[in-house]
Amino acid sequence: PLVTTQQMLKDAQKHKYAVGAFNVENMEMVMAVIEAAEELKSPVILQTTPSTVSYAGLELYLANVSALANKATIPVALHLDHGNSFELCMKALRVGYTSIMIDGSHESFEDNIEISKRVADACRPSAISVEAELGKVGGKEDDLDGGDENPYTNPTEAVEFVKRTNVSSLAVGIGTAHGVYKGEPKLAIDVLKDIKKVVSIPLVLHGTSGVADEVVKECIQNGICKVNYATDLRIAFTKGVKEVLEDKPETIDPKKYNTIGKEYVKEYVKEKMHVCDSVNKA
Catalytic positions are: 81
How big is the site for ligand 13P, counted in residues (CB under 6 A)? 15
| 229 binds, options Zn ion, Na ion, ligand 13P, none, Cβ within 5 to 8 A by partner type | ligand 13P
170 phi, psi to nearest 5 deg: -130, 125
Under the binding rule (CB under 6 A), the answer on residue 151 touching ligand 13P is no
* Count of CA atoms in the C-beta half-sphere (13 A) of 51: 8
Report the largest interatomic distance among the alpha carbons of the chain, rounded to a whole angstrom.
60
Question: Comparing C-alpha atoms, which of 10, 8, 5, 70 is closest to residue 34?
Answer: 70
Spatial separation of the C-alpha atoms in residues 63 and 69, rounded to whole Å: 10
Out of 91, 206, 262, 270, which residue is the one contacting Zn ion (CB under 5 A)?
206
Out of 17, 61, 229, 268, which residue is the one contacting ligand 13P (CB under 6 A)?
229
Question: Comparing C-alpha atoms, which of 157, 138, 144, 147 is closest to residue 80?
Answer: 144
Under the binding rule (CB under 6 A), the answer on residue 134 touching ligand 13P is no
Under the binding rule (CB under 6 A), the answer on residue 141 touching ligand 13P is yes
Q: Which is nearer to Zn ion, 229 or 257 (CB)?
A: 229
- For residue 71, the Cα-to-chain-centroid distance in whole angstroms is 22
Count the neighbouring beta carbons within 10 Å of the beta carbon of residue 85: 13
Out of 209, 222, 258, 278, which residue is the one contacting ligand 13P (CB under 6 A)?
209
Q: Are 218 and 191 in contact (CB under 8 A)?
A: no
Task: Point out the residue whose Cβ comes nearest to Zn ion.
Answer: 206
Under the binding rule (CB under 5 A), the answer on residue 281 touching Zn ion is no
Out of 20, 175, 207, 261, which residue is the one contacting Na ion (CB under 5 A)?
207
Out of 26, 209, 222, 258, which residue is the one contacting Na ion (CB under 5 A)?
209
Q: Which of residues 139-198 bind Na ion (CB under 5 A)?
A: none
